[in-house]
Amino acid sequence: MKNGINLPRGEKPEEAGRSGLNAVSLAGLGIGGVIGAGFFLGSGLAVREAGPSVSIAFLIGGVMMMQVLGAMTSINVNRLERGSFRVYVEQFLGSYAGFLVGWAVFISSILGIGSEAIAMGVFVHFWMPHIALPILATTFTGIIILLNLMDMKQFGRIESGMAAVKALAILLFIFLGGYAFLTQLGFTSSSPFSSAHAFFPTGFSGLFQSMLVVVFSFSGISAVAMAATEVSNPRVEIPRATRYLSFGSISLYVLAMLVLVMITPWNTVSTKKSPFVHAFDVIGMDWAAEGLNVIILLAAFSVMAASYFASIQLIVSLSVAKKGPRLFLQHSSRGFYRNAWMAVGLGVLIVVGLSFLLPSNLYSYLVSASSYFTFLNWTLNLITYLLWRKNKGEKETFESRLIWGRLGAYGTILSILILFVISLRVHDFQLGFYAFLGFVIVISISYFFWSRRNLHRIQQQ
């Protein structure tokens, strides 16, 4: 079985998963999709907006992510189906909502993979400044396309290994950075904790404006939902994996950001290189900066691989549901969906190709556009959870402890709406919103023609 998406005809998801992933592998896939360039590079954008209070922004973003993941897990364990959240949204919100969220998440994933490729170019540019960034990004895109030819079981092991390496790298940064702060810097008058203004230099508005980037850093949780049908014991392993993912990523993110703003002046951070590499340069640990840059490169590889996997899962699911071209259902005798694999690769190459034409802040545009798709996806999933909770069957007894019931769902939806309005005050985010809006319009028009075509077929029958 290739890519983890290929169920032989007539095989049920729960049957397919019996020899698949366990909680550690699934959590590794999730962490592989979460901890990547969105954090190691994109967090620089958030620091520039919020200053030291960015650590609070990551805590808030983590709680929001936890509510969404809890909502998805609650439904998924009770109604395990390939396509997961897209299928559930359609069941409770109708055909258009399912069509919209399916293709919106697919486009968001393509944009996310493209942003990771560009970030990888930034990281390698650290060593090879004479090679143009778009060339580096295109090269890494080609490598990740080939990597997704691997068997799912081996792929899960690699993702778990990469997740462990990334987690250890963040822990090492927390330890070394904390040690440097205590021995070299300390709580002086210039410390971010010396006053309220020092901790909130851009005010609460800056904290909220940074949330769009923070949400992008948590957007990879979809990989867990898409891989759920590959789990050996879904009712046990999925909840366990989501707990590992939630508490692990939130703890690492918040602690790392606290250490970062303690040892680095927040207004010196940029997206020309990782803020964590910059922090090691500031405290004179050049050897650590070099090592961390290598690990960050692996992190971007890991996220691209996880996102690519999820994208193939999703486009096949859309085609199975007759909401995508039938050509994506064609597969080899071993169940490899070559056309879906090629379509994802082509989409990413187009996004990366734009880096040859558009200005250097293309990364910011990709982050913001992808984040607006995440806002849409999270909102629809939370609404679906609320409807499922109201109409669930007698045997659907499992509910994740990650989500705080209706209060958590409504509170997160309200938070998303507030953050959406506030984010539009940032110029680069506005351009990302226009791109997001354009894609939504195209998806909606496509649904109109798709529904008319289906209606015509039904009438002919």
Q: What is the per-residue DSSP string for 61-105?
A: HHHHHHHHHHHHHHHHHHS--TTHHHHHHHHHH-HHHHHHHHHHH
Which residue type sits at 229?
A: T
On the question of pLDDT at 388 being above 90, the answer is yes
On the question of pLDDT at 318 being above 60, the answer is yes
Determine the Cα–Cα distance for residues 222 and 220; give it in Å rounded to an integer.
5
Per-residue pLDDT reduced to its tens digit, 326-335: 888 877 766 7
Half-sphere exposure for 288 (CA within 13 Å, toward CB): 21
Look at residue 69 in the predicted model and tell me its pLDDT. 92
Measure CA 145 to chain center.
18
Determine the Cα–Cα distance for residues 18 and 360; give it in Å rounded to an integer.
46
Look at 281 and 299; give whichever has higher pLDDT.
Answer: 281
Look at residue 2 in the predicted model and tell me its pLDDT. 39
Phi, psi of 326 (to 5 degrees): -65, -20
Q: Which residues is 156 bridged to in the sheet?
A: none
Q: Give which of 127, 171, 121, 126 is closest to 142, Cα–Cα.
A: 121
Look at 160 and 315; give whichever has higher pLDDT.
Answer: 315
Rounded average pLDDT over 101-113? 88
Look at residue 287 in the predicted model and tell me its pLDDT. 85
Query: How many Cβ atoms are within 10 Å of 154's Cβ, its own excluded?
Result: 9
Question: Of 28-42, 48-62, 68-82, 298-312, where does mean pLDDT reach its minimum?
Answer: 28-42
Per-residue pLDDT reduced to its tens digit, 45-88: 899 889 999 999 999 999 999 999 999 989 988 887 766 677 89
Rounded average pLDDT over 382-406? 92
Cβ atoms of 221 and 245 within 8 Å: the answer is: yes
Look at residue 254 in the predicted model and tell me its pLDDT. 94
Rounded average pLDDT over 305-325? 81
